[in-house]
Amino acid sequence: MNSVRQSAPQLQGLVPYDPKYLPARAYLSANENPRDVETEIRQKIISAIRKVPLNRYPDPLANDLRDMIAEANGLDRDQVLLGNGGDELLFNIALAWGGPGRKFLNLPPTFSVYAANARLTGTEVIDVPRLVDYSIDEETVLERVGQGDIDYVIVASPNNPTGKLANEEFLAKLLDATDALVLVDEAYFEFSRTTMRPYLAMHKNLLILRTFSKAFSLAGVRMGYILGNAEVIREFLKVRQPYSVDAVSQAIAREVFSERQKFEHGIMAIISERDRLLEELGKVPGITVYPSDSNYILFKLEGADKVWEALYARGILVRDFSHAPMLENCLRVSVGTEKENDEFLAALREIVANK
Ligand code: PMP
């Protein structure tokens, strides 16, 4: 066989993103909604899909969906852009605002995709690590952006995997302190019930990311969106794949978005289960629990990798961060159904008691 030359230099040393999705009885590792879309809405989805012409390219910008999302957020169509999951839009920000000679300000530990996209696009990553309790080192961030060389910043709020919202006052200061594009990643906004959206009116450099994957039970469909200034959105149009959001996904998302009130009950159930899990985890000896505004909880304990294995042996899949930088001995559990959470708690109590 002949040989092939090496891939691009920025790929050397990168490892493919691995969500470690293994077969399990209780999937508590990917922050999904534990309940699938309910039957009535599923029926509507099926009828909508029947009408989708499969031989035609989709509306490249998903304008119907854009209009629905714009209206719900008091914005115009040109302030909204859909993507193939939030992930695509996270890649697009690196393409549009990053690149060789440009700088991305990252607040680790956070969603690892941000830094990976920066590296992939030859963007320099400037880290301002979080404090020991995983809150943002606000003073250092403001001082660092004050130097004037940062091109974009991403603040996950709530932060994944650590769980807490960023302070609104800090975000407001950050928007004023820099002309860098500030992406506030609100993938878990429906659980935190807190948004920076009102700031869009006055801040051209604010961009907000949301997703259908979590609260709206559509992780399998791949649909995310950004809200921002029309001029910023126009730059994203230059880098996006024209047909990244397919016609079937558009049809599904339209049905789900128009029925979004019906998800409220499930969202409230997740919030109350989260609070119960926080309380119960707090009672397990030897565990440090980090507070959460989201649908997952980070916790720390000695020998976390062994605990992960023991949980998995009992059919319970949580996310292992125990060897990730700044997250030593940490595991993250997604809030499941009441039954799944009970099983998780019982298994964890037993594993800790027998350590
Ligand atoms: N942002 C954060 C903080 C996330 O945790 C995720 C999902 N893991 C995403 C964005 C992207 O979600 P999706 O691509 O499913 O929309």
Q: Domain boundaries in the chain? A: 10-31+263-353, 39-258
Tell me the CA–centroid distance for residue 187 and ligand 1, in Å: 6
Assess contact for 152 and 183: CB atoms under 8 A: yes
Outline where 218-300 has alpha helix (H): 230-239, 247-258, 264-283
* 108 residue type, one letter: P
Specify the pLDDT at position 258: 98
Kindly state which CATH superfamily the domain 10-31+263-353 is placed in.
Aspartate Aminotransferase, domain 1 (3.90.1150.10)
Q: Which regions of the chain does DSSP assign to beta strands (E)?
A: 26-27, 80-83, 103-106, 124-127, 152-156, 181-185, 206-211, 224-228, 288-289, 296-300, 316-317, 319-320, 330-334
Assess contact for 166 and 184: CB atoms under 8 A: yes
Q: What does the alpha-carbon distance between residue 12 and residue 30 come to, in Å, rounded to a whole number? A: 27
Report CA 51 to chain centroid distance, whole Å. Answer: 31
Specify the pLDDT at position 164: 98
Atom of ligand 1 nearest to the CA of 212: 16
- Locate 154 and state its tokens: 């991403």
Tell me the CA–centroid distance for residue 211 and ligand 1, in Å: 7
- Locate 48 and state its tokens: 């909508």
The protein residue whose alpha carbon is closest to atom 4 in ligand 1 is 187
Number of other CB atoms surrounding residue 303 within 10 Å: 15
The protein residue whose alpha carbon is closest to atom 6 in ligand 1 is 187
- Locate 78 and state its tokens: 């040109």
Q: What does the alpha-carbon distance between residue 226 and residue 91 come to, in Å, rounded to a whole number? A: 12
- Locate 36 and state its tokens: 């699938």
Assess contact for 230 and 76: CB atoms under 8 A: yes
Ligand 1 pocket mutation, candidates 185, 210, 256, 298, criterion most atoms within 8 A of CB: 185
Please state whether 13 falls in left (phi above 0), alpha (psi between -120 and 50) or beta: left
Low-confidence ranges of the chain (pLDDT < 70): none
Report CA 325 to chain centroid distance, whole Å. Answer: 19
The protein residue whose alpha carbon is closest to atom 2 in ligand 1 is 187
Tell me the CA–centroid distance for residue 90 and ligand 1, in Å: 9
Architecture of the domain made up of 39-258: 3-Layer(aba) Sandwich (3.40)
Closest CA to 136 of 112, 111, 171, 103: 171
How far apart, in Å, are the Cα atoms of 205 and each of 91, 148, 233, 261?
Answer: 18, 14, 11, 30
Q: What does the alpha-carbon distance between residue 275 and residue 293 come to, in Å, rounded to a whole number? A: 9
Specify the pLDDT at position 17: 85
Ligand 1 is surrounded, with C-beta below 6 A, by 31, 85-87, 111, 156, 160, 185, 187, 211, 213, 219, 224
Assess contact for 321 and 327: CB atoms under 8 A: yes
* 181 residue type, one letter: L
